[in-house]
Amino acid sequence: MNDKSSIRKPWGGRFNSPTDAFVESFTASVTFDQRLAMCDIRGSIAHVTMLSETGIITEDEKKLIVDGLEAIKSTIKAGDFTWSIALEDVHMNIEHALVKAIGEVGKKLHTARSRNDQVATDIRLYLRAQTEIFQSRLLELMTTLIELAEREAATLMPGYTHLQAAQPITFGHHMLAWFEMLIRDYSRFSDCKKRLNSLPLGAGALAGTTFPINRQRVAELLKFDTVAENSLDAVSDRDFALEFSSVASILMVHYSRMAEELVLWNSQAFAFVEIDDAFCTGSSMMPQKKNPDVPELLRGKSGRVVGNLMALLTLMKSQPLAYNKDNQEDKEPIFDTIDTINDCTRALTELIPSLRTKKDRMRTAAAHGFITATDLADHLVRLGLPFRDAHEVVGKAVNLALSKDCQLHELSLAEFKTFDERLDESVYNILNMDNALDSRKHWGGTAPLAVREACARARNRLKDLDY
C-alpha cells in the first residue's frame, strides 16, 4: 500500500490545499474495496465499448484503454499492483494506473460516468457472481443432507416439541427438515438476484449525462437483465444489499438451529450422534473434553451476519437521495457476510457426512416419555371414539403408567380395558414405535418409506434448481 499524499487527486481541481492525512485515510475505501477490482475493470471495458460504438470516443482510443485495463487486470491478479490510500478507492486507483500506463487517452475512460454509478454497478456485478458461487456451495451441502437422510432413513429417534419427547421420527426425516430450510434459502438467493440484476451505469453522479449513451448495450455486455429506470434511485439505493443480507441472515439462523441440535445431540445427556474428531477441539485444562467447536461457531457466527444486516439497514435509514458517502460503508458488511456464509457452508458440508449416529441411544431415548400415546388415541378414534374423548382416555392411561412407574406398553390388557372395553391385544402393536413410524407413510411423513420417497424427490428438485 502506497500512502503518499503527493499523488494528485483526480478531483483536485477546485482544491487549494492538500487533504489532511487523517481525513485521507478516514475517507479511503481502497483497503477493502479492492475486492471489487475485477468487476470494476469489467464494467469499465463495457463502458468504453459503448462509448466507442456511440462515437463518444474513437475506436482507437477504446482499444488503447481496453488493452491498458487488461494489463492492469493481470497486474492485480498477480498481486503486483500498488494500491494507494491517497487515491481513495478502487476506482481511482485503477484509473490513475491506466493514465500512468497509456497516457492522456486514459483520462477519457471516465467520460459520461461517475464513481456513483460505477460503484453501484461494481457491487451488483460482485454480488451477482458471489451469489452464484455461494448457491453452488449450498447445492453441495443440500446433496450431503440427502445422502445422510438416505443412509438414516430408518433410524428411529425421538421427535420433540418443547424439547419434550413427542412422537417417534426418523433421523432421515430430521435431515430432510434441514434440507427444506436450505432449499428455501437457495430460492431466496435466486429471488434476490432478480432485483439485483439491473444496470445502474449511465445514471452518472445522480442526474444522468449529456452524452448520447446506450445503456441497453452496456446492460447487454454486462449481462444485466434490465437497465435501472431512474438515475437518482440507481446511484442511491442499496436495497439489493439489504435483501442479500436478509436472505443470508435467514440462512444463518437456519444454520444456528442445525448447529444447536448438533451440539445437543453430541452432548453426553443426549449422545445421539458423535461428531468426528476432525471437527472438535480439546480443553487446555480438562483432559477428557472433546468440544463441538465447529457447530458452536456456526451458531455464534449467525450473530455477525445478522449484525451486518443491522449495520446495513441503519446505514440506509433516513439517507436523503441521491448518493451519500455513507454508502461506502456498505462494503465491509457485505464482504464479511459473503465470507461467513461461505465458511459456514463449507464447515457443514464437511462435517455432515462424517456424523456417526448412535442408534441404540436414540431408540432408548424414544422408548421413554409415552412417545406413542397419540397413536393410541388415533386407534381409539378408529374404534369409534371422538378424538377429544380418546385424548382424555389416553391421558388417564399415561397417568396410571406414571403412578406405576412404567411405560404404556407395560400396562396389562385388563388395565387397558378399564379405559375402553373395545381395546384388545392389538393395542400393543399400536404402541410399538416402529409401527408408529411405518404408519406415517403419507407425503411429507416420517416413515422410512416416505423418507426414501422424499429423498428421491429432493434429488430431482435439486436438478430443477436454477441459478
Catalytic residue numbers read 162, 283
Number of residues that bind ligand ARG (CB under 6 A): 9
Residue 359, Cβ density class (10 Å: 0-12 exposed, 13-18 middle, ≥19 buried) = middle
Q: Which is nearer to ligand ARG, 117 or 261 (CB)?
A: 117
Minimum gap (Å) between residue 90 Cβ and ligand ARG: 7
H helix intervals, 290-386: 293-316, 331-351, 359-366, 373-382
Is 209 among the residues that bind ligand ARG (CB under 6 A)? no
Is 119 among the residues that bind ligand ARG (CB under 6 A)? yes
Q: Judged by CB under 6 A, which stretch of 16-24, 51-59, 63-71, 322-330 contacts ligand ARG?
A: 322-330
Three-state SS at 158: strand
Place of cell 474428531: 277
Minimum gap (Å) between residue 232 Cβ and ligand ARG: 14
The sign of the torsion formed by the CA atoms of 105, 79, 325, 208 equals positive
Minimum gap (Å) between residue 110 Cβ and ligand ARG: 12
Q: Which of positions 24-43 make contact with ligand ARG (CB under 6 A)?
A: 29, 33
Minimum gap (Å) between residue 115 Cβ and ligand ARG: 4
Distance (Å, rounded) from C-alpha 18 to C-alpha 6?
8
Distance (Å, rounded) from C-alpha 210 to C-alpha 331?
30
Smallest CA-to-CA distance from 216 within 230, 202, 206, 204 is with: 202
Minimum gap (Å) between residue 114 Cβ and ligand ARG: 7
* Positions of E strands within 140-286: 156-161, 164-170, 198-199, 226-227, 273-274
Q: Which is nearer to ligand ARG, 33 or 150 (CB)?
A: 33
Minimum gap (Å) between residue 25 Cβ and ligand ARG: 13
Three-state SS at 198: strand
Q: Which of positions 48-107 make contact with ligand ARG (CB under 6 A)?
A: 89
Q: What is the secondary structure of 248-259 as a DSSP string? A: HHHHHHHHHHHH
Minimum gap (Å) between residue 211 Cβ and ligand ARG: 19
Q: At what angle do helices 448-464 and 171-196 cross, to 10 degrees?
A: 20
Is 127 among the residues that bind ligand ARG (CB under 6 A)? no
Is 121 among the residues that bind ligand ARG (CB under 6 A)? no
Q: Which is nearer to ligand ARG, 162 or 325 (CB)?
A: 325
Q: Which amino acid does the sequence have at 297?
A: L
Yes or no: say if 91 and 40 are a contact pair by the CB < 8 Å rule: yes
Distance (Å, rounded) from C-alpha 45 to C-alpha 374?
67
Distance (Å, rounded) from C-alpha 461 to C-alpha 176?
13
Three-state SS at 90: helix
Q: Judged by CB under 6 A, which stretch of 74-82, 172-180, 325-333, 423-431 contacts ligand ARG?
A: 325-333
Here the cell at position 268 is 453426553
Q: Which amino acid does the sequence have at 337?
A: T
Using CA atoms in the order 25, 27, 32, 33, what is the torsion angle rounded to 10 degrees?
Answer: -130
Q: Judged by CB under 6 A, which stretch of 77-85, 137-145, 320-328, 423-431 contacts ligand ARG?
A: 320-328
Q: Which is nearer to ligand ARG, 39 or 390 (CB)?
A: 39
Q: Which is nearer to ligand ARG, 328 or 372 (CB)?
A: 328
Is 236 among the residues that bind ligand ARG (CB under 6 A)? no
Minimum gap (Å) between residue 88 Cβ and ligand ARG: 6
Q: Which is nearer to ligand ARG, 42 or 115 (CB)?
A: 115
Q: Which is nearer to ligand ARG, 126 or 186 (CB)?
A: 126
Q: Which residues contact 426 (CB under 8 A, 6 or more apart)?
A: 379
Which of 47, 115, 128, 440 is in the footprint of ligand ARG by CB under 6 A?
115
Distance (Å, rounded) from C-alpha 248 to C-alpha 51?
37
Which of 44, 93, 116, 446 is in the footprint of ligand ARG by CB under 6 A?
116
Is 327 among the residues that bind ligand ARG (CB under 6 A)? yes
Minimum gap (Å) between residue 119 Cβ and ligand ARG: 4
Q: Which of positions 140-169 make contact with ligand ARG (CB under 6 A)?
A: none
Q: At what angle do helices 239-266 and 171-196 cross, to 10 degrees?
A: 170
Q: Judged by CB under 6 A, which stretch of 179-187, 278-286, 324-332, 439-447 contacts ligand ARG?
A: 324-332
Q: Which is nearer to ligand ARG, 256 or 327 (CB)?
A: 327
Q: Which is nearer to ligand ARG, 266 or 327 (CB)?
A: 327
How many CA atoms within 13 Å lie on the side-chain side of 68? 24
Smallest CA-to-CA distance from 176 within 372, 466, 467, 456 is with: 456
Q: Which helix (H) or strand (E) holds 96?
A: helix 90-102
Q: Judged by CB under 6 A, which stretch of 16-24, 41-49, 171-179, 321-329 contacts ligand ARG?
A: 321-329
By the criterion CB under 6 A, which residues form the site for ligand ARG? 29, 33, 89, 115-116, 119, 325, 327-328
